[in-house]
Amino acid sequence: MLLWLLVILLAASLAGGVNRVIGSGGGWALALFPSGVFACLMKQGPLVLNQQNLSSSIEWVPALNLAISMRLDGLSLIFGLLITGIGALVLIYAGAYLNGDDRLGRLWMFLLLFMAAMLGLVLADNLLTLFIFWELTSITSYLLIGFNSERSESRASALQALLVTGGGGLVLLPGLILLGGVGESFEISTLLENSEQIRQHAFYVPILIMILVGAFTKSAQFPFHFWLPNAMAAPTPISAYLHSATMVKAGIYLIARLHPILGGTAEWFWMIAPVGTITMILGAAMALRATDLKQILAYATISVLGTLTMLLGIGTEATLIAALVILVAHAFYKGGLFMVAGAIDHAIHQRDVRELGGLRLTMPATFAAALLGGISMAGVMPTFGFIAKETWYEAVGGDVAGIGFLAASVLSNIGLVAAVGLVCIKPFFGSRTDATQAAHEGSLAMWGPPVALGTTGLALGLMSTQFSGLLTAGSSAIAGSVVPVNLALWHGVNVTLLLSLLTLAGGLTLFAQRHRLEGVFKSADRFIQYGPAWGYGWLLKSVTQFARWQTAILQNGYLRFYLLTMVGLTVFSVWMALSGEVRSHLKPMPLDFRIHELLLAGLILVAAVVAVRAKTWLLAVGSLGVVGYSVAGIFVLFGAPDLAMTQFVIETLTVILFVMAFSRLPDFRRLTSAGTRARDAVIAVVAGATITVLLLFAMTVRTDHPISDYYTTNSVSQAHGRNVVNVILVDFRALDTLGEITVLSIAAIGVYSLLMLRPPKRIALGNEANNVANSSCPISTQSED
């Protein structure tokens, strides 16, 4: 299964080249990669339908129970098919949408990277692996939403999406870790067996809350719903993929995946179902208020996501099945409708529904796609959307609470039907407007994918019986036990059908009478401006202000202040820790020095005094070099040749670098007052004394065997090396070294950009550079003085 991810990543690495060599038609070529994975998934289908789950696992860090383990069950299979199948169509569509744009390769790459992250997420069987892919979807969607990076609006939306979903991810992580701890495993398949123990644990509620915050932010549930419509700043192919078909469903996926582990309790119901219901109603209402095609669709998505959450929260077998069926139906029609919106936008650069009309003759294929998607979204017979709605209505209802949910469902669906009118009827019928005069049909790659998605929606409706096996496997994975699904197009005349008809009639009436809603929305606007989006804006502004305030205090650009803080804090904390114990542990050192040791010590002292009193920088640097060399000499005397050698070389290089840097400074002058120097001297003496005491203390308090024993005994046998220092560096603690050389490399990039990439002098005098310096880098302004 890891191989499937690698195939997609390979395609991502090829995307740029494909755009250069083939151009926009390359979408067809790139689509082959996800199609291949799609075929592989299909091939696993029969196995999964027999409830035999495919799994694979690679040990990553066994000591931390980290494994990249993957498992394909019904739920992952359905998601995987949607991700790769719709993904392939989106790649083709994107080629037509950004035809001739040299950023197309980048778009393809981001889409494929996102696809890989999403696929990894649904295949992961380890909570931590799942989390890594979860965050990868956040990061890749940040890149996608901010694709038009030259527009500040795009960047703000991308940042908003990242902060909300990433913030949710930060809450999710401790939840997952706690869950792993309580369930005694990070493998989801193992946790399934321990679910009883988890549900009864004292940490059950905290775990549930943390995981739900993650899921709700990702799936744009109230009150975190506001980022999703803003994410429409992304080009339409991205919206079609990310924000309708897959990404926002990650949260839904997580809730569904964890249902057999955490679900079935009163807490589960009360924390999830109400949130979903509010989101469902809110999304439908906001969809009617919007006038931008993509915004309408985005709010409609929020409504459906709310529905899914509500159904998963109710958590009966019937509602779980309904959630899965709606999820699949939604993926097909919403992906298609977004592409329709994009095709219209691409043809006439207008998405405001009030400006659209009469497009059915000039864009017949797009119109067909819109109709196919629309009837499924509205739940008209015989589409899959119809079946979804029937299953949904049938699943809720029953007791008193159920009737409440049913009423809310019908209400939100009436809103959605009216939204279908706005998207699929308004732009295509009526007379042409100024904006639609120049409309023309796009290429096959533009209308083919939405027509394909719409047709699939229709075909699934007609052949729903054949599709039941896969849905059974999927809903069994959500329920945690085998739940047979029997879909049928015709249930006979019953309450559900009547409700369906009521929904349609109500929706169409609402669409026809929509001008009456304007007054309602106007009065609601006054409240909405203080909604969660306002809260987000306030929070962001406050954080920035706080950051600016504390930066001005803590990072004022004076190096001496930084040093003072660091040294002062170190001295303070050392004394805080040692104050009581020092006297009892400090013993006088035996004074059996040898003569050459005393000579070295004397040399260090003399050199240090010379360095402090030096009148030229060369003398100061030179004497510091003498100090370093003498310390290295002490290392030699006490049997640490490695350390000594490194110290010698470092000291040499330090002197060289100092000379290079100082030779550019003006004459060696005293710039500080006598008082400041006295203060510095006191600090230096105190700090030096502290470190001395600390070292003496460290030598006397050792109680356990030194760890060096372990290394000396195992160095040759395990790492085939006799030099323990080097063996530690390259073998026993190689991960540390790897981290260190990475840090070194980053430091080199820092130095390089500080010294080599400065703007030329003449610009530095201008206004522009001053602004930059003031806002981001106080150090550079100081160094100019």
Contact residues for other proteins, defined by CB under 8 A:
59-63, 641-642, 645-646, 649-650, 652-653, 656-657, 659-661, 664, 718-723, 725-727, 729-731, 734-735, 737-738, 741-742, 744-745, 747-748, 751-752, 755-756
Query: Of 493 and 735, which CB lies nearer to other proteins in the complex structure?
Result: 735
In DSSP terms, 61 is beta-bridged to 66
Q: Which of 395, 444, 476, 488 is nearest to 28 (CA)?
A: 444
Query: Of 505 and 741, which CB lies nearer to other proteins in the complex structure?
Result: 741
Query: Of 555 and 753, which CB lies nearer to other proteins in the complex structure?
Result: 753
Query: Of 60 and 575, which CB lies nearer to other proteins in the complex structure?
Result: 60
CB of 766: closest distance to other proteins in angstroms?
Answer: 21
* Residues in contact with 593: Cβ distance below 8 Å, sequence separation at least 6, in sequence order: 601
CB of 604: closest distance to other proteins in angstroms?
Answer: 22
CB contact at 8 A, 124 and 133: yes
Query: Of 524 and 631, which CB lies nearer to other proteins in the complex structure?
Result: 631
CB of 70: closest distance to other proteins in angstroms?
Answer: 16
- The DSSP call for residue 58 is E
Which structure tokens are listed for 447? 């209308």
CB of 758: closest distance to other proteins in angstroms?
Answer: 9
Distances (CA, A) of 330 to 52, 308, 340, 407: 27, 10, 15, 21
CB of 67: closest distance to other proteins in angstroms?
Answer: 11
Query: Of 269 and 732, which CB lies nearer to other proteins in the complex structure?
Result: 732
Give 412-446 as a DSSP string. Answer: HHHHHHHHHIIIIITTTSS---TTTTT-----HHH
In the chain, the amino acid numbered 378 is A
Q: CA-CA distance, 454 to 460, in Å (whole number)? A: 10
Q: Which of 229, 245, 248, 247 is nearest to 293 (CA)?
A: 229
* Residues in contact with 636: Cβ distance below 8 Å, sequence separation at least 6, in sequence order: 644
CB contact at 8 A, 145 and 155: no
Query: Of 54 and 636, which CB lies nearer to other proteins in the complex structure?
Result: 636
Report residue 386 CA to chain centroid gap.
34
CB of 59: closest distance to other proteins in angstroms?
Answer: 7
CB of 653: closest distance to other proteins in angstroms?
Answer: 5
CB of 729: closest distance to other proteins in angstroms?
Answer: 6
CB of 738: closest distance to other proteins in angstroms?
Answer: 5
CB contact at 8 A, 177 and 247: no
Specify the 3-state DSSP secondary structure of 677: helix
Query: Of 482 and 747, which CB lies nearer to other proteins in the complex structure?
Result: 747
Query: Of 502 and 656, which CB lies nearer to other proteins in the complex structure?
Result: 656
* Torsion sign over Cα 613, 617, 618, 624: positive
CB of 652: closest distance to other proteins in angstroms?
Answer: 5
CB of 749: closest distance to other proteins in angstroms?
Answer: 8
Q: What is the dihedral of CA 393, 397, 401, 403, to 10 degrees?
A: 80
CB of 735: closest distance to other proteins in angstroms?
Answer: 6
Specify the 3-state DSSP secondary structure of 765: coil
Q: What spatial distance separates the first Cα and last Cα of the chain, rounded to whole Å?
A: 59
Specify the 3-state DSSP secondary structure of 138: helix
CB of 320: closest distance to other proteins in angstroms?
Answer: 39
* Torsion sign over Cα 105, 146, 334, 273: positive
Query: Of 672 and 723, which CB lies nearer to other proteins in the complex structure?
Result: 723
CB of 169: closest distance to other proteins in angstroms?
Answer: 24
Query: Of 691 and 741, which CB lies nearer to other proteins in the complex structure?
Result: 741
- The DSSP call for residue 126 is B
Query: Of 462 and 734, which CB lies nearer to other proteins in the complex structure?
Result: 734
Which structure tokens are listed for 387? 């079946």
CB contact at 8 A, 510 and 485: no
Query: Of 328 and 719, which CB lies nearer to other proteins in the complex structure?
Result: 719
CB contact at 8 A, 95 and 26: yes
Distances (CA, A) of 292 to 373, 421, 427, 707: 18, 13, 11, 67
Query: Of 566 and 751, which CB lies nearer to other proteins in the complex structure?
Result: 751
* Residues in contact with 765: Cβ distance below 8 Å, sequence separation at least 6, in sequence order: none
Q: Which of 99, 112, 84 is nearest to 26 (CA)?
A: 99
Kind of pairing between the strands at 54-61 and 66-72: antiparallel
Q: CA-CA distance, 583 to 449, in Å (whole number)? A: 80
